[in-house]
Amino acid sequence: MKLFINNSPQQVEWEHNESVEALRQRIKEKPITIQMRKYGTFEQVGTIGNLPAEDHYISTLPGDIVLYNHNQIVIFYDEHAYHYTRLGRIIGKSKEEFYQLLGKEDILLTIYIN
């Protein structure tokens, strides 16, 4: 699966779980594009539609991609801890690069299979 933030490709290590597999099946039909919004001082959040979840209390790091409440995709640009289902992690960026990418304004997220 490919992930773009504001039309910029991101390198992602996806988890191997039921949530990611359900997302993969969904985007086989057509890519999804989600308007994400800043929430708090540590994350971008957008509605992805219901996916299976297996929430655990976890600590997140910048770049982590999680599912919240079965229907919200969250990408972190700072640390946080709560009950989430891990989806993946954007790799190859520093904390400052994550802040530049995610921390200044709302973003447009696109996920598709090539």
For 40-66, how does the pLDDT look when each residue is reduced to its tens digit (9 = 90+)?
A: 899 999 999 999 999 999 999 999 999
Over the stretch 72-82, which tens digit does the pLDDT of each residue have?
Answer: 999 999 999 99
State the average pLDDT for the chain: 96
CATH 2.40.100.20 fits 2-112, yes or no: yes
3-state secondary structure of 34: strand
Both ends of the chain: CA-CA distance in Å?
7
29 pLDDT above the threshold of 90? no
Cβ neighbours of residue 109 under 8 Å, at least 6 residues apart?
A: 3, 4, 5, 33, 34, 35, 36, 44, 46, 73, 75
User: Would you list the domain boundaries of the chain?
Assistant: 2-112
pLDDT score of 114 more than 90 = no
24, HSE (Cβ side, Cα atoms, 13 Å): 12
Contact predicate 90/75, CB 8 Å: yes
pLDDT band, very low/low/confident/very high, at 8 (cuts 50, 70, 90): very high
